[in-house]
Structure 1
Amino acid sequence: MTNWRAVFVGFVVATVLGILGLALPGVGQLAAGLIGGFVAGYMAGGGIGSGFWHGLLAGALGGIIGGLLIGVAVGVAGLALGPVGGAISGTVGVGIFAFAVAVSLVMAVESAIAGAVGGALNSGADTGRSTGGQRY
């Protein structure tokens, strides 16, 4: 079962560190994806598979949101330039979509690997399932 709280927290960590990482282009975003995936995997616990899954979701969510923001910015710029700008914006939009997909894949894979490490380190974590009040 997916722990959406862990995914969201990992996404937020990756986003905040990615914004701060703009000071070191490339390296800052790479580190942000790794740390965000690790946080998601560690919070979810449950072993390597669970950590991988939660890190993957956190990284992919970050890539999708980032791609959407870039697309909106290009669309607004195209609208400001009128009909010619709209045509140029639409053409550029196809390239931006391909770039956003590539970024999402890279962020998802690196976050998934870091999430697997985090899940392995916290393999005995409570996954949020109820044990009926009993502690084992």
Structure 2
Amino acid sequence: MRNILFGLIVLIMIIGCSASDNQSNKTEEITSPPPPAKVPGDLKTEKELSAQETKDKGRLVKIQMLDAGETYLYEPANLTFKVGEKITFKITSEAEFHTFTIDELDIYETADAGESYEFTITFETAGTYRLYCVPHETLGMIGEVTVQ
């Protein structure tokens, strides 16, 4: 009887240990995400992604919209581009609301005080276009965009 009792205890311990091992394995399978798949030639570095973004957006041109004191101006105020050139403008307003307006090209972009805004255009027609800020045009906030 003693041997049977000892055998049952050993058997219960073996079953108990193997059952807890299976449960911990199942928990690991459920909680562990699979490793990400790697596709050769599909991974890009940050530098490559940045280059692709630059290619998609074209050349970056930064325009400061200045309003210190009584002087209102674009910096730079005169810009020259080529027909077909894709440009991303980053307009930055110093301390007041400003616009970047070119009527002939249907461009009317704005930047609130102290903020920047980006927009991308492709110049399709050669010409010289008047650039102005709607609220500050009469105060001299004008410029010129030439497309060759």
The interval holding the TM-score normalised by the smaller chain is: under 0.3
Greater fraction of residues in strand: 2
TM-score normalised per structure 1: 0.23
TM-score between the two structures when normalised by the length of structure 2: 0.21
Bigger fraction of residues in helix: 1
Whose relative contact order is higher, 1 or 2, with alpha carbons under 8 Å and at least 6 apart? 1
The structure number with the bigger radius of gyration is: 2
